[in-house]
Copies of this chain bind each other. A is one copy, B any other.
């Protein structure tokens, strides 16, 4: 028998949901901005039906906000939401760290080390885009090693809701230093295969991040007023 051909076309709605997500996360649509159905239909070359399905999906994920008879807007994020989300992400990433430690191979450690080095280098020469890329990759790798797909998906679902702060509050350099210090500790615990410790440090890392973000946010808010 021939090799089975994997022809899996997705529906327009799924495709559009992904495009919408990307638009929101990349900042193509800023928090609070109105989602113009007609314009998006034009740019994507589709009718309103699948686009509206996509909007409903992305709204159910929390990236858009629907108001009856008034359409969709890009979701905004408040300090109290951030204060809620970070501990959850901490619990999830703590679990990921524990699972990852149990499955950690030397090859994994090499990849983590490489990313950690990138993070440090980017911090040292202030390449903040590189820094956040490598940082994201580092955290994603931990989830990948943990090998729990649902865990990663749940985490990602919360993570995307945080994206909005990027457009409101910039992290000051000392927040990076704290993060790098956290990572140092995490790497040490990983190398020692102390899963409980890895979990604890990741929870604390997210807690530190939460404080830094909230501080940056309130600074931005008071500067605006």
Contacts and interface: CB of A to CB of B under 8 A. Distances in A.
Contacts of A90: 95
Pairs of residues from A and B, 9 with the lowest C-beta to C-beta distance, nearest first: A91-B95, A84-B150, A91-B91, A57-B60, A53-B56, A84-B148, A88-B151, A53-B53, A56-B57
Interface residues of A, number: 34
A123 interface: no
A13 B91 contact: no
A68 B9 contact: yes
A85 interface: yes
Interface string A7-30: 011110110010000000000000
A contact patch SS: helix
Interface in A153-205: 154, 157-158
A8 B68 CA distance: 7
Contacts of A158: 150, 154
A91 B57 CA distance: 26
A94 B200 CA distance: 13
A142 B150 CA distance: 23
Given A56-B56, A87-B148, 15 more contacts: A8-B68, A10-B68, A11-B66, A56-B57, A57-B60, A60-B60, A84-B150, A84-B151, A87-B95, A88-B92, A88-B148, A88-B150, A91-B95, A150-B158, A154-B158
